Structure 1
Amino acid sequence: MKKLMTGLMAVVMAGSLAACGTSEETSGEGKEKIVMGTSADFPPFETHDTDGEIVGFDIDLAKHITEELGYELEIKDMNFDGLIGALQADTVDFVASGMSATDKRKENVDFSVEYHRSGEMFITLPESEIESMDDLDGTKIGVQLGTIQDEAAKKLADTIEIEVKALDKLPALIQELKSKRIDAIYLDKTVAEGYIKELDLKGFDDESSLSPGMAIAFPKGSELAEEFSEVIEEMKESGELEKLQEKWLKDE
């Protein structure tokens, strides 16, 4: 797990942008520039390293795809709950940010083929007596705003007595947990396992539902969705995607 750092949001270019974000701009090498939106607080998929650079599984995935397609990649860091809005406003060309391809999101954006699936977990402090879904009644659960876990936690609150607290950034949720202002955090399983290992926490799986896999998001009607999907399928066949999983998602 790379060290978590809070990054400054990238400056959004003023004025109306072209229908495909800023991809019509060219670099000094003559390549078209393509702009990716992400929320770099979701290790190991995207986070800031000790030098402030955005790194992670999604970053390497996006770099590989855009290199294959001949684009120069620019990355913009923003809050997760603003990513779909950025696609709709054409301030980014695509989003790679551990985003699950839910039916609700598909109403507003298009997705590539799935590139990862991990499920969900709850993480708690090591001394917590919350050890399964049966122990959640009467607890306060933290989620990241705009995520699939945010939506699922609200549905869970209809069946059991829980209070849901949604914040923009995962590091803020970790601090809430450590300060015992919330009882557990509900998040992607791969990310949860990283926090459990690095911060000596504990956790348990959410066995209540199966979430859709992660995919790259695009504005409705974007031709990039098909182009990116083709490269992802090639990466699956060549073993390149498995190499990225070994690098970022497997325990050392």
Structure 2
Amino acid sequence: MKKAIILVVMLMLAGMMLAGCGSTETKAPVKKIVIGLDDSFPPMGFRDDKNNIVGFDIDMAKEVSKRLKMDVEFKAIDWSTKESELNGKRIDALWNGMNITEERKKNVLFSDPYMESKQLIFVLTGSPIKSSADLAGKVVGVQQSSIGDEVVTKDDQLKASLKDFKKYPDCISAFMDLKSGRLDAVVTDEILGRYYMSKEMGQYVVLEKPMGEVGNYGVGFRKEDKELRDKVQTVLNEMKKDGTSAQISQKWFGADIVK
């Protein structure tokens, strides 16, 4: 009888130990990628009428993070401080129609190019401006620290000929001033400009000759985050191959314009 009681007690203790082991078991933490973006850059990344961040790059990043089994957070930042945000580790990537340039490559590790980027001049319908030469004596606006800003700033002759050169925190503000007559022209990315034109039918005209060199968009990572960059690139390649990126492009642009 005594042995039987001891056996029961031992079995109970063993069960409690097993239960205890189970209760202290912890799951591996879910990994998350924080994407920095200018949330006023349609159709790549912007806020809809319900204040949700949406866009082509948003859909692409969501699909990539899903396939990598990572959570994703979209963080609106001041685009002029994008490299500081990235290298200060407040974000993990810049994914928002970011042009790949030699200057940016010094501080940022880029994905392969995924879309072509042109800087074009946008004016009001009926404007006498027909080329970049006609900008002399005019007021021109750009987004601060954008490629449009760089293109105008680096063209000493063009910049010197302008009546005024205004820089805005986002392109939408520049287009609002163009519409109100405070600007004569806006220099910005073709994709954003054409999207804005489509929402304001008949109010704007685009000059088709690009300003500066034709560039490309890429996803930006910290220089030391090659492993993350390579994982994202592998998934982007898979999405290109299986047609997912084409479907997302059709949704936002009505055509497959992904490289």
Q: Normalised by the size of structure 2, how large is the TM-score?
A: 0.81
Deviation at 1:78, TM superposition (A): 1.4
Spell out, residue by residue over 1:193-239, the C-alpha distance to the aligned partner (whole angstroms, 9 max, x if none): 11222123111124343232101001111021111111111122222
- Answer whether contact 1:79 1:169 (CA < 8 A) is retained: no
RMSD of aligned Cα (Å) = 1.8
Alpha-carbon distance in 1 for matches of 2:158, 2:54: 38
Q: Which amino acid aligns with 2:136?
A: D
The equivalent residue for 2:170 is 169
| 1:219 has 2:222 as partner | yes
The equivalent residue for 2:189 is 188
| 1:235 has 2:234 as partner | no
The equivalent residue for 1:155 is 154
Distance change in 2, residues 1:29/1:243 (3 Å): farther
Deviation at 1:30, TM superposition (A): 4.5
Give unmatched runs, 5+ long, in structure 1: 1-27
Q: Number of aligned pairs?
A: 224
Alpha-carbon distance in 1 for matches of 2:198, 2:135: 22
Distance change in 2, residues 1:43/1:29 (3 Å): farther
Spell out, residue by residue over 1:57-116, the C-alpha distance to the aligned partner (whole angstroms, 9 max, x if none): 010011011111111001101121121110010000111011001110000110111111
Deviation at 1:250, TM superposition (A): 2.5
Alpha-carbon distance in 2 for matches of 1:224, 1:56: 22
The equivalent residue for 1:55 is 54
Give unmatched runs, 5+ long, in structure 2: 1-26
Alpha-carbon distance in 1 for matches of 2:155, 2:141: 13
| 1:250 has 2:254 as partner | yes
Structure 1 stretches of 4+ with a deviation exceeding 6 A read none
Q: Percent identity?
A: 30
- Answer whether contact 2:118 2:211 (CA < 8 A) is retained: no
Structure 2 counterpart SS, 1:158: helix
The equivalent residue for 1:24 is none
Structure 1 counterpart SS, 2:74: strand
Alpha-carbon distance in 2 for matches of 1:53, 1:140: 33
Q: Which amino acid aligns with 1:204?
A: L
Moved more, 89-98 or 156-165: 156-165
Distance change in 2, residues 1:183/1:159 (3 Å): closer
Moved more, 77-86 or 49-58: 77-86
The equivalent residue for 1:140 is 139
Deviation at 1:179, TM superposition (A): 2.2
Alpha-carbon distance in 2 for matches of 1:126, 1:159: 22
Moved more, 223-232 or 39-48: 223-232
Distance change in 2, residues 1:134/1:250 (3 Å): farther
- Answer whether contact 1:195 1:201 (CA < 8 A) is retained: no
- Answer whether contact 2:121 2:186 (CA < 8 A) is retained: yes
Alpha-carbon distance in 2 for matches of 1:30, 1:88: 23
Rg larger for: 2
Q: Normalised by the size of structure 1, how large is the TM-score?
A: 0.84
Deviation at 1:159, TM superposition (A): 4.2
The equivalent residue for 1:115 is 114
The equivalent residue for 2:124 is 125
The equivalent residue for 1:207 is 210
Alpha-carbon distance in 2 for matches of 1:206, 1:244: 28
Structure-to-structure mapping, 1:9-48, within 5 angstroms: 30-48=29-47
Spell out, residue by residue over 1:147-189, the C-alpha distance to the aligned partner (whole angstroms, 9 max, x if none): 1111011122434612321111222112211222211111111
